[in-house]
């Protein structure tokens, strides 16, 4: 099988699904049409074997997660996903593996009507880089920079579940098969909060997606917004499996500095929360703290004592 056959078989979809794709895979480049009233939002993420996923991760999950981590970045901007490009390095052509990667990738992309419009295929150590393109009405994108003193801080979903699943996969903690089955999807099949991102567009003052741990990512918001924050540890949405297996302080550490959550963290004025809740159907969001004057990120426990957490977050280098 040569490169062209490989692309045709695993990455080219039968017919273009989107009317804004003038020309998809097959020429030297794709031709795409951005709606006149929209800004184009572009993001890219790489998954490297052994660094961003354990070596034994299934091809389906690698494809699925490559799409979801990028969709999560678009969600954090309040963007509607549209197109993808894929750069893939493979040590060899393994058709069974490629079929599963492709199935995982398109399972995730199809959920949001995203069309794969091009890419690049090379020989090398296993690495998958996906670029996603989405739209947001002009000047309506959600930024890290708008948090205001007094705003509430919210997160979606649960924090620390993926980090616990990684510990289990690495045999650092022993879980029952039932427990593992419950938490593994958080690591291998994260779900980007696209609908929430769209709902937040006109309501949130700032937004970020949590990929490297709440503490590290919330600090980006604080730095860009020129504010501080206090987070109530007892309010963090933590899966009961964490608290059953770990001391409370360790649970907080995982929730605050474990990576791979792919939830949204956003700030919102009190006055907009009712409106937001009316728009959200079935999306779990939890208030976890407040934006304050200053520049520090403080953590407070249920007894109202300030707590120092060894909160570093995922370090890329």
The entry of ligand ADP, Mg ion, none near residue 289 (CB within 5 to 8 angstroms by kind) is: none
**Residue from 116, 165, 208, 251 in contact with ligand ADP (CB under 6 A):** 116
Which residues from 6-45 bind Mg ion, rule CB under 5 A? Answer: 28
Check residue 92 for interaction with Mg ion (CB under 5 A).
no
The entry of Mg ion, ligand ADP, none near residue 25 (CB within 5 to 8 angstroms by kind) is: ligand ADP
The entry of Mg ion, ligand ADP, none near residue 119 (CB within 5 to 8 angstroms by kind) is: ligand ADP
β-pairing, 115-123 with 80-90?
parallel
14 or 27: whose CB is closer to Mg ion? 27
Closest distance between ligand ADP and the C-beta of residue 77, in Å? 23
Whole-number Å distance between alpha carbons of 278 and 282: 11
Whole-number Å distance between alpha carbons of 147 and 176: 41
What one-character DSSP code corresponds to residue 114? Answer: P
Check residue 126 for interaction with ligand ADP (CB under 6 A).
no
44 or 181: whose CB is closer to ligand ADP? 44
Which residues from 5-24 bind ligand ADP, rule CB under 6 A? Answer: 7, 11
- In this structure, are residues 188 and 57 in contact, taking their beta carbons and an 8 Å threshold? yes
Which contacts of 183-186 are long-range, i.e. CB under 8 A and separated by 24 or more positions?
183/239, 183/241, 186/158, 186/161, 186/162, 186/239, 186/260, 186/261
**Residue from 28, 55, 92, 308 in contact with ligand ADP (CB under 6 A):** 28
Q: Which stretch binds ligand ADP (CB under 6 A): 25-33, 56-64, 126-134, 272-280?
A: 25-33
Whole-number Å distance between alpha carbons of 156 and 104: 24
- In this structure, are residues 183 and 175 in contact, taking their beta carbons and an 8 Å threshold? yes
- Beta strands of 15-56 (E only): which ranges? 21-23, 31-32, 38-48
Closest distance between ligand ADP and the C-beta of residue 125, in Å? 16
Which residues are near ligand ADP by CB under 6 A? Answer: 7, 11, 25-28, 86, 88, 116, 118-121
């Amino acid at each position: 099988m040569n490169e062209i056959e490989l692309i045709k078989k695993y990455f080219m979809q039968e017919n273009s699904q989107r009317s804004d794709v003038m020309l998809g895979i097959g020429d030297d480049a794709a031709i795409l049409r951005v709606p006149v009233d929209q800004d184009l939002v572009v993001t890219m993420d790489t998954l490297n074997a052994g660094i961003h996923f354990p070596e034994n991760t299934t091809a389906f999950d690698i494809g699925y997660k490559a799409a979801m981590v990028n969709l999560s970045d678009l969600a954090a901007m309040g963007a509607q996903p549209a197109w993808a490009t894929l750069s893939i390095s493979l040590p060899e052509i393994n058709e069974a593996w490629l079929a599963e990667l492709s199935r995982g990738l398109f399972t995730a992309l199809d959920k949001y009507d995203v069309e794969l419009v091009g890419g690049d295929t090379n020989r090398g150590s296993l690495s998958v880089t996906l670029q996603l393109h989405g739209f947001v009405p002009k000047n309506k994108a959600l930024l890290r920079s708008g948090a205001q003193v007094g705003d509430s801080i919210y997160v979606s979903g649960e924090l620390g579940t993926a980090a616990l699943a990684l510990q289990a996969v690495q045999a650092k903690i022993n879980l029952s098969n039932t427990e593992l089955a419950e938490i593994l999807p958080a690591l291998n099949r994260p779900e980007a909060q696209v609908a929430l991102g769209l709902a937040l567009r006109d309501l949130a003052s700032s937004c970020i997606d949590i990929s490297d741990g709440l503490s590290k990512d919330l600090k980006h918001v604080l730095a860009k917004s020129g504010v501080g924050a206090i987070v109530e540890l007892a309010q963090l949405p933590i899966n009961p499996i964490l608290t059953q297996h770990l001391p409370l302080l360790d649970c907080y550490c995982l929730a605050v500095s474990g990576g791979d959550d792919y939830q949204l963290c956003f700030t919102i004025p009190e006055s907009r929360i009712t409106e937001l809740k009316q728009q959200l159907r079935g999306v779990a969001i939890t208030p976890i703290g407040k934006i304050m004057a200053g520049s520090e990120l403080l953590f407070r426990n249920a007894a109202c004592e300030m707590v120092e957490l060894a909160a570093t977050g995922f370090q890329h280098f």
